[in-house]
Amino acid sequence: MASILAVDFGSVRTRVVLIDVVDGAYRLVARADGRTTDGFPVYDLEVGLNRVLRDLSRLTGRKLMEETGQIITPERPDRSGVDIFAVTASIGRPVRAVIVGLVPDVSIASAIRASNGTYIDEVATISLDDGRTEEERLNTLLLSNPDIIYLTGGTENGAENAVLRFAELIRLAVTLIKPENRRPSIIYTGNSALVEAIKAMFDGLTTVFIGENVRPSIETEHLENARLQLANAFDRYKENRHRSFAVLSEMSQTGIMPTAQGYTLIADYLGKITQAGVAVVDVGSASSTLAISFGQDVVSAIRTDVGLGHSAPQLLNTIGADAVRYWLPMYISEDELQNYVLNKSLRPATIPMTLRELYIEHGLLRAGIRRMLVDANPTWEHQSLALTHIIMAGAALTGTGSPGYDALLILDALQPTGVTTLHADPYGLVSAMGAIATQEP
């Protein structure tokens, strides 16, 4: 058993938790949080991290950092440092991805489901029956400006030539992208017979992540390893685009894991051990996550246009004014709604100052969660789900100041049936546990 330090970088807040063994079991020892310093005037994540770590050291009397800023690992005999340092992040723009596969309803559908655990903006898909010429497909790859190209297709002992043709097209696109440090990473989760050929094709051009075949047969779907490779690609993307993340990734045993993937892993785990309905909902400033499991595969929706701060204008554009008015006890004009969300995007850390603003904020919150529910499964729009456990995360759902009001918000939005136990996670423990699980199951 090991001591654990976990950090989550949100768009507004940076949260850190210290977990250690007490009387033979893991316990939350201390936690701290502060403003994320990614933007003006600092533009350096490490400044905010150092502040919260100093607060944590004052609370615990435990030295966590060297004078150089390095996290002390492993834990030393004098109890300074920790054994595991884990980092999750939801900050920054989503990863732009082009998904390339053979059949939209088979390999591409599986790739999209695998990517639901990561902050990915699916900018284009390419398939055998998309009606494009080779030149049009090449233009799609180039003009989409992807950070990741996700290639999949072919069951085990199945199609090879079609997958190789797509791989050659992707190779041509990658060679045309300049400068070289802007070339997208490649993820391959198709027919395993082609793994060596794919590696050789992109050797020296860009980074390739190889995962297990997401569709080894038409009837079988394997997503877990693909999600791991997507997390690795997310980690590399963050390292390349942000100096602070490059430094943190080197110190962390888990790399930089998407916060949403931590939630998805925990929802999947709890659903399988309880064989009951489990939902994890996180509404943030720039992005939001909904993960639901009924004991089988987890279903998730991650929206980078659903948020109550940076993404508030996109949220209103996505759901429409009527979806917000549905939850309000008074009439509100579209102009007033637009003014409110634009002000929120400019000052995402502000809180509602009047009862009217509070109604608007929580109307946006409920409508945004309903939209994610429909995204996860369109048939759930008019159903009451039998959820035995709901975990709420994010300041919007856990920071109202009243646990009863938190409960009313999530019950309004999800409208579960039966007996439901509600859990609030104001400290970011759930995403931390998801990240830690890969190192300390």
Q: What is the DSSP letter of 184?
A: P
Q: How many CB atoms lie within 10 A of CB 10?
A: 26
* 276/222 same-domain check: no
* 223/140 same-domain check: yes
Instruction: Check: CB of residue 163 under 8 Å from CB of residue 126.
Output: no
Q: What is the DSSP letter of 290?
A: E
Looking at the structure of the chain, the number of domains it has is 3
Could you tell me if residue 320 is left (phi over 0), alpha (psi between -120 and 50 degrees) or otherwise beta?
left
CATH value at residue 357 = 3.30.420
Give tens-digit pLDDT for 234-250.
878 877 777 777 888 88
Domain boundary residue among 28, 59, 82?
Answer: 82
* 266/337 same-domain check: yes
Closest CA to 390 of 251, 292, 253: 292
* 283/421 same-domain check: yes
* 336/398 same-domain check: yes
* 46/110 same-domain check: no
Mean pLDDT score of the chain = 89
Question: Mean pLDDT across the stretch 51-66?
Answer: 91
Give tens-digit pLDDT for 63-120.
998 888 888 888 888 888 889 999 988 887 788 999 999 988 888 988 888 887 678 8
What the block records as the tokens of 357 is 């603003």
Q: What is the pLDDT confidence band of residue 400, given thresholds at 50, 70 and 90? A: confident
Degrees to nearest 5, angle at CA 332 with 331 and 334: 140
**What pTM, to 2 d.p., does this model score?**
0.81
pLDDT at 117: 67
* 109/133 same-domain check: yes
Q: Is residue 241 part of a domain?
A: no
Give tens-digit pLDDT for 178-198.
888 889 999 999 999 999 999
Q: Is residue 248 part of a domain?
A: no
* 298/338 same-domain check: yes
* 193/283 same-domain check: no
**Which amino acid is located at 411 in the chain?**
L
Question: Mean pLDDT across the stretch 344-369?
Answer: 93
* 44/108 same-domain check: no
Q: Is residue 245 part of a domain?
A: no
- Structural domain that includes position 283: 260-433
**CB-based burial label for 331 (10 Å; 0-12, 13-18, 19+):** exposed
* 372/300 same-domain check: yes
Domain boundary residue among 211, 231, 251?
Answer: 231
| Cα gap 159→152, rounded to integer Å | 11
Side-chain half-sphere CA neighbours of 118 within 13 A: 29
Instruction: Check: CB of residue 263 under 8 Å from CB of residue 270.
Output: no
* 321/359 same-domain check: yes
Q: Kind of pairing, strands 84-89 and 299-303?
A: unpaired
